């Protein structure tokens, strides 16, 4: 029954996402101590010990793993994380039957292509 009022609030971004975004940015900039500090905040909230990652690549991999667990089934995070990390084909090919590399790009809307021929060609595979 519709009462006209609602007490439900949509969650767009959670605090762990902000910490993990900053951790990744810091790691990519070479500020590894700050990156591990941000990562450890999220790990400690979950009752986990601090990360043992030390090198830039280890820290980036640890952040990606943490994002996989923290945002399980939330809003397509994993797809975009893998895309950003350049790991879509590596991860999805063995586990997703029918995965094609061209699916990393979305198709351009046909009506937009008709309105603006400068957008041609369509992304490969579509």
Q: What percent of the chain has pLDDT over 90?
A: 82
- Helix, coil or strand: residue 37: helix
pTM: 0.80
Q: Average of pLDDT values for 26-33? A: 98
- pLDDT, one tens digit per residue, over 97-107 is 999 999 999 99
Does the pLDDT at position 86 exceed 60? yes
Q: Taking Cα atoms as reference points, which of 9, 104, 24 lies closest to residue 71?
A: 24
Rounded alpha-carbon distances, angstroms, from residue 71 to 4, 6, 85, 94: 32, 26, 16, 22
């Amino acid at each position: 029954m519709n009462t006209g009022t609602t007490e439900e609030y949509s969650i767009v971004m959670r605090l762990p996402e902000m910490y993990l975004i900053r951790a990744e940015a810091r790691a990519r900039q070479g500020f590894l101590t700050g990156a591990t500090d941000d990562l450890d905040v999220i790990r400690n909230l979950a009752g986990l010990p601090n990360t043992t990652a030390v090198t830039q690549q280890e820290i980036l991999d640890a952040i990606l793993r943490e994002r996989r667990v923290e945002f399980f089934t939330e809003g397509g995070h994993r797809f975009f994380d893998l895309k950003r990390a350049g790991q879509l084909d590596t991860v999805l090919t063995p586990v997703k039957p029918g995965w094609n590399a061209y699916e990393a790009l979305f198709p351009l809307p046909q009506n937009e292509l008709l309105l603006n021929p400068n957008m041609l060609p369509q992304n490969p595979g579509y």
